[in-house]
């Protein structure tokens, strides 16, 4: 029987690896890879707590699953829009380095 703490620690480590990737990488697509890792860590956390709560109540709760479904959906929408923006910026700037995207800078 796996303790809840193992899932929580794994999710925390996965989230922070993703955060590190999102902070330090130069390439915009690599930043997006970090964000995907963070969203996955959140899903692990949500489903671990869903299992915990269902087990505590003795009946299946669906709140946690609904949350997870919406997080997955938001992640799909985010990936599609972000990649469209990256390709659009690449077409006009010939660069996908996040630090070069400074057209709006005053």
Partner 1 sequence: MSVQQLIFLSLAIVTIFSAIMVVSLRNLLHSALWLVLTLLGVASLFALLEASFFAAVQILVYIGAIAILLIFAVMLTHNIMSVSDSQTNRGWGIAIVLVSIILIALISQLSTWEGFNTALIGLNSPGQETVLLLGKGLVDPQGYALPFETASVLLLAALLGGVYIAFDKRIDKKT
* Cβ proximity to partner 1, 8 vs 101, nearer residue: 8
Query: Is-contact 38 21, C-beta < 8 A?
Result: no
* Cβ proximity to partner 1, 91 vs 105, nearer residue: 91
Least separation in angstroms between residue 94's CB and partner 1 is 7
Neighbouring residues of 67: CB distance < 8 A, sequence distance ≥ 6? 46
Least separation in angstroms between residue 95's CB and partner 1 is 6
Least separation in angstroms between residue 80's CB and partner 1 is 4
Query: Is-contact 48 11, C-beta < 8 A?
Result: yes
């Amino acid at each position: 029987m796996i303790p809840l703490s193992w899932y929580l620690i794994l999710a925390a480590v996965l989230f922070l690896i993703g955060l590190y990737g999102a902070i330090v990488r130069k390439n915009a697509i690599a930043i997006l890879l970090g964000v995907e890792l963070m969203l996955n860590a959140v899903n692990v956390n949500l489903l671990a707590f869903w299992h915990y709560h269902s087990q505590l109540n003795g009946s299946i709760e669906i709140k946690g699953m609904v949350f997870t479904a919406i997080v997955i959906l938001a992640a799909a929408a985010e990936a599609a829009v972000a990649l469209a923006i990256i390709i659009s910026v690449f077409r006009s700037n010939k660069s996908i380095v996040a630090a070069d995207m400074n057209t709006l800078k005053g």
